[in-house]
Structure 1
Amino acid sequence: MTEQTTPAETTGQRRLREARERAAEREANPASATAIKLPTPGETVHCLVSGTTLHRGGFEGGYVLLRGQQFIVTAEMIEASRDRFGRHRGVALVHHPELQKLAHKGRVLYAPGPTPEGFEPWEYGDPAWADARERARLDAHAQRTDAERRAALAEVHRRYGPAQPMNSFTKYISAADREAEADRKARLAAARAGQPFLGSSSEGGGDA
């Protein structure tokens, strides 16, 4: 009688088996899954990325926030932060920056607590930074004496950092990137006007 041998398990098969075993363990023992610390209704949170849409729940749409803008979390906001698969995103993950990065393409949108004193309303390299740096640079060059100009330019470099290099080549921008940029500008315009942004997120629910 010929003895049958079991084929060796490949690396891909082993990983798939282990993933299924972990999923089965989580279903059998939910307490073993990583717990998410949700914000408490009434808690103060501030925004880190201008153009972020904060969904308020129900049919009220959402508000587009500016960097540094703070607000009070509500139970409706937490519930509205779920995506179509029921997973928490956005403000619900305020205490989990690493999970925010996973949910929002590497971005951390929210931080707990009031806006810190001296918090800059821009991030290095973004359009708001470029505008602020250029205005400060022009003001520095407008100083009356060489000493004043040198001191003002040093302060520009200290506060805003070095200017970004100019590229000599033409960058290809895809249709998706153009659409995303148009969406970003619409969000910022709504935020500056203090109006709700009623457009839907391409992320499929939750905060954008």
Structure 2
Amino acid sequence: MITIPQPAMVLNAEDVPGPDYKMWNSRKVKEAEDPKWVMINVASIAKAATGGKLKALVINCHGYYAVLKEHKYWFDEKGGGFGLGIGTGITRANVDLVMGEIKGLVDDIWLVACGAAQISQAGGAGDGNLFCGSMAKATGANVYASTAKQSTGLWPTIPYGKIDGYEGDVYKYKPDGSNELTNY
């Protein structure tokens, strides 16, 4: 398990398998919510935190994969990297606009989503490396994301202030957009 420094906020997507993570501020995000509005809410909460910012933001959701069905990307062997299924979605097309709302208000962003950092064999917009780098630049935060499918395994609950460990290669994207492989 990974201990997340507090104060932290978690956004648990409505359709993500449990258990939900719990932080200093925990929020369930409905599928119909505009992610820009969600980030405006995160900014408001961050400004009210001790020191006027969050040490971490955890986004717990599905990662978008190569096959588009009913306005959502679903798993395909060609891979992820198409964005995040939080609210109506964050993709490379809107990441700067959406995530810019929290610029300077969060130290670290932890993406718990399948294939968020993966470079899809399908090509096109499926480049999680560029997606995560753009998110880091837009927010001024470090962004942690994996290239692999994620699972909470058989955990019945996850303790307060923690996320389960990542599967696959995990990269840390820095505010300048560069990245490095990490040990998470």
TM-score bracket, normalised by the shorter chain, equals under 0.3
Larger Rg: 1
What TM-score, normalized by structure 2, do the two folds share? 0.23
Give the TM-score normalised by structure 1.
0.22
